[in-house]
Structure 1
Amino acid sequence: MKNTCFFNSTSFWGGGEKSHLEYASNFQRRNYQVCLVTSSGSELEKRAQEQAIPVFGFQIGKLSFLNPFMINKLARFFRSQQIDTVFLNSSADLKTGGLAARKARIKNIVYMRGLAVPVKNSWLNRYLLTRVVTHPVPNSEDTKKMFLQKLSSVLPPENVPVIYRGINFDDWDKRAVNPHIFRENDELILGNVGRLVKQKGQDFLIDIARELKQKGLRFKLVIAGVGPLEQELKTKALNNGLEKEIIFPGFYKNIRDFLAGIDVFLFPSLWEGFGNAMVEAMYEKKPVVAFNLTSNPEIIQSGENGFLVDYPKLDDFVTTILKLAQDDKLRQHIGEEAHQSVKSRFSFDRIIQDWEKLLD
């Protein structure tokens, strides 16, 4: 695993792109030879250049795996860089990058499965996952369960290890923090961050905010991020008379600025491979309220380092928030427990040992 390539052709910035950049940066610091293959002009390419990580842009589309000239071009690139390990993230990259890596006879072809939804048991997927990929690695037990739901006949569970997402908490602690002040009086500041898409469940937050207002809680709800549902969510907040309570500040490059300005982190996602935003909030000692879905129970022990609410019980979600609003000591205690739990389990130093054990 000495010459490693992170292959990610996604044009927008999301969790998979953030993960690849962080892994590339941390592997490089440990004296691995690292490069990134990206879509030309992407945000990932730009950020890799800012961090002085070798990055190579290609014009890669969803159907590039059908283009033998592109496959040969990428295979020649892998051979020229003497790559021995390729990390793939999306299904599109699994096809294009995976086929090129196989043609280049790369030793380790890793599929970092982060999407907690079933995979079709198609001929193409069976071929890619049994003849191309050498190491399918989900990022949580729930992701693994969903990944194998239709593939257990071709992929034995014992051949599919789980490696959680690592976070470099040392780097995190070094980031300058300029807290965004949302509080005007003595309100409780509730926060959520993520792409504004249906999966992330931000529409539930508006329903929750309506109930909290009816119960007389003084609060502000800050929903950070951008995405296709932004205008729809703003309209729903306005139609519910919540224009003073709900803030949409947009995208944050330094998420610590956002987290430093909130009291409680709300996580209503409908599915997550690994709740990275939730783990970051927990590291910042923010008590989390989340639905008891997907991989969330692997991270939160309800009542100990956060709170899990059965989906879709909004009344229970509201009750838990009110409980935290009324008890400063409880918020502090849960926040401290959250910090310690994620620091010990998800530090990059610990996670990279799992990768080295698997691939070396």
Structure 2
Amino acid sequence: MPMSRIKLLQLITLSEMGGAQKVLYHLVAGLDRNRFDITVACAPGGELVRWLAPLDGVRVVQVPHLCREISPARDLRAFWFLYRLMRREGFAIVHCHSSKAGILGRLAARLAGVRGILFTVHGWGLGDHHSRIKQSFFVLAEKVAGRCSDRVVCVSRADYQKALDEKLVPPDRLAVIHNGLPRPAQQPPALREELGLSEKALMVGTVCRLRPPKDPLFFLEVARALLYSGKWAGNLYFVLIGDGPLMAPCREYVQRHGLSRAVFFLGNREDAPALVAGLDVFVLFSLWEGLPLTVIEAMQAGKPVVAPAVGGVGELVTPGETGYLIKPRDLAGAVQALETLLKDGQLRRDMGARGRRAVLEHFSVERMVADYLRVYDDLLRV
């Protein structure tokens, strides 16, 4: 008689393109669907829903009212929807991703009597950027949800330490699993051809949601400082891949400062990794992070990285070896690091090669899936 499959719910707040969504997708794609009966629940309508559609044996449930913002009425409706789903389906494991789904999902799972409750932290998002009242509320909510969790996985050692420092989760329930990505397919970089630039042009780029945590306006401040320096003879360009609520302010900044000739906005692109392969230097200027997949993708493509030492970025980038780490919003530091790299093609190639070797060895999707399987097995044994 065949064994029944383990009912597993993967829950995430938004279904739009983002790092946490990619992690969930690659995890689901890598699990044995003869062993796991997988349901994915998320807000309606984004790219994740489309990515999952071709996967045999994966059911997608779009959750009305599930949203990123705090909205008591919508949050209560989403909570009730999730609770009824969990009671009806009888999941053995509920695996939550992202803050809102992590809090609502863990509380609903505990109330529904789910056997194994797991939360992956893709960056805590707790810090000075919130008001004191909001910060206190978020910390309290995470502490309550943490006590409803059987295991909390941090994607970086930095987030693990933050959980300990803030006493967000009992220490015996914490673990670290670094994100992983599949080995990229080899394809010729098409970015220069798309933008009509010569092989001698120097390109600095980033991939991010255009939201305040990613600080895309600082990316443009750095671009302005370098372009206004007059050192690059009209041969330096900046590429911003992504979309979001700060698109209009970003475009206005570029227009106001006369940067339109040298700054390209490409919007959301599912071929972003192939575009990154055409850059000379990759940058990410986030104010906080978990373990950013865009940095892993850039290093897979053999690109040196300049980024602030926030979250798990320092677990990816080795200063002076695979790129440079700066302080958040350090304009002088960012400009100096980029000038060093832009002036020296051999340095860029050497750093890029070292970074590629490091991430292919330590940040594979096979390792990530195997690590999560061990956690699932532990939860089922309890």
Shared fold, TM over 0.5 = yes
Contact 2:309 2:325 in 1 (8 A): yes
The DSSP-based 3-state class of the residue aligned with 2:255 is helix
1:112-164 deviation digits (Å, cap 9, x = unpaired): 1112333747665443221x211111111222233444325xx3434311111
Contact 2:146 2:170 in 1 (8 A): no
The DSSP-based 3-state class of the residue aligned with 1:12 is coil
1:168-200 deviation digits (Å, cap 9, x = unpaired): 22xx327x6662223523220111111011211
User: Are the structure 2 counterparts of residues 56 and 207 from structure 1 closer, same or farther at C-alpha, using a change threshold of 3 Å?
Assistant: closer
Normalising by structure 2, report the TM-score: 0.83
Cα separation, 1, equivalents of 2:303 and 2:18: 22
Which of the residues 29, 46, 51 maps onto 1:25?
A: 29
Contact 2:12 2:102 in 1 (8 A): no
- 1:211 is aligned to 225
**Superposition pairs for residues 339-354 of structure 1, below 5 Å?**
339-354=356-371
- 1:140 is aligned to 156
Cα separation, 1, equivalents of 2:237 and 2:293: 23
**Do structure 1's residue 74 and structure 2's residue 85 form an aligned pair?**
yes
- Give me the CA root mean square deviation: 2.5
1:26-78 deviation digits (Å, cap 9, x = unpaired): 11468533221233434322321133432223324355664585355212333
The DSSP-based 3-state class of the residue aligned with 1:54 is strand
User: Are the structure 2 counterparts of residues 101 and 173 from structure 1 closer, same or farther at C-alpha, using a change threshold of 3 Å?
Assistant: same
Contact 1:89 1:112 in 2 (8 A): yes
Cα separation, 2, equivalents of 1:288 and 1:323: 12
User: Are the structure 2 counterparts of residues 125 and 197 from structure 1 closer, same or farther at C-alpha, using a change threshold of 3 Å?
Assistant: closer
Amino acid at match of 1:3: K
Total equivalences in the alignment: 351
User: Are the structure 2 counterparts of residues 125 and 318 from structure 1 closer, same or farther at C-alpha, using a change threshold of 3 Å?
Assistant: closer
- 1:159 is aligned to 173
Contact 1:183 1:220 in 2 (8 A): no
Which of the residues 273, 290, 302 maps onto 1:285?
A: 302
User: Are the structure 2 counterparts of residues 116 and 124 from structure 1 closer, same or farther at C-alpha, using a change threshold of 3 Å?
Assistant: closer
Amino acid at match of 2:86: A
Per-residue deviation, 1:289: 1.1
The DSSP-based 3-state class of the residue aligned with 1:220 is strand
Cα separation, 1, equivalents of 2:185 and 2:236: 28
Which is further off, 178-187 or 106-115? 178-187
Normalising by structure 1, report the TM-score: 0.88
Cα separation, 1, equivalents of 2:225 and 2:80: 57
User: What are structure 2's unaligned runs of at least 5 residues?
Assistant: 68-72, 127-134, 378-382
Which is further off, 304-313 or 340-349? 304-313
**Superposition pairs for residues 106-255 of structure 1, below 5 Å?**
106-118=114-126, 120=136, 124-130=141-147, 132-151=148-167, 155-169=169-183, 172-173=184-185, 179-181=190-192, 182=195, 184-185=197-198, 186-213=200-227, 214-217=229-232, 218-255=235-272
Per-residue deviation, 1:288: 0.8
User: Are the structure 2 counterparts of residues 359 and 261 from structure 1 closer, same or farther at C-alpha, using a change threshold of 3 Å?
Assistant: same
**Do structure 1's residue 38 and structure 2's residue 53 form an aligned pair?**
no
- 1:56 is aligned to 61
User: Are the structure 2 counterparts of residues 310 and 43 from structure 1 closer, same or farther at C-alpha, using a change threshold of 3 Å?
Assistant: closer
Q: Identity across aligned pairs (percent)?
A: 24
User: Are the structure 2 counterparts of residues 180 and 139 from structure 1 closer, same or farther at C-alpha, using a change threshold of 3 Å?
Assistant: same
Per-residue deviation, 1:325: 1.7
The DSSP-based 3-state class of the residue aligned with 1:243 is coil
The DSSP-based 3-state class of the residue aligned with 1:44 is helix
**Do structure 1's residue 358 and structure 2's residue 358 form an aligned pair?**
no
Which is further off, 12-21 or 336-345? 12-21
User: Are the structure 2 counterparts of residues 26 and 177 from structure 1 closer, same or farther at C-alpha, using a change threshold of 3 Å?
Assistant: farther
Per-residue deviation, 1:11: 4.8
Per-residue deviation, 1:279: 1.0
Contact 1:116 1:144 in 2 (8 A): no
Amino acid at match of 2:146: L
User: Are the structure 2 counterparts of residues 120 and 24 from structure 1 closer, same or farther at C-alpha, using a change threshold of 3 Å?
Assistant: farther
Per-residue deviation, 1:336: 0.5
Contact 1:65 1:99 in 2 (8 A): no
The DSSP-based 3-state class of the residue aligned with 1:50 is coil
Cα separation, 1, equivalents of 2:312 and 2:253: 29
Cα separation, 2, equivalents of 1:314 and 1:133: 40
User: Are the structure 2 counterparts of residues 288 and 9 from structure 1 closer, same or farther at C-alpha, using a change threshold of 3 Å?
Assistant: closer
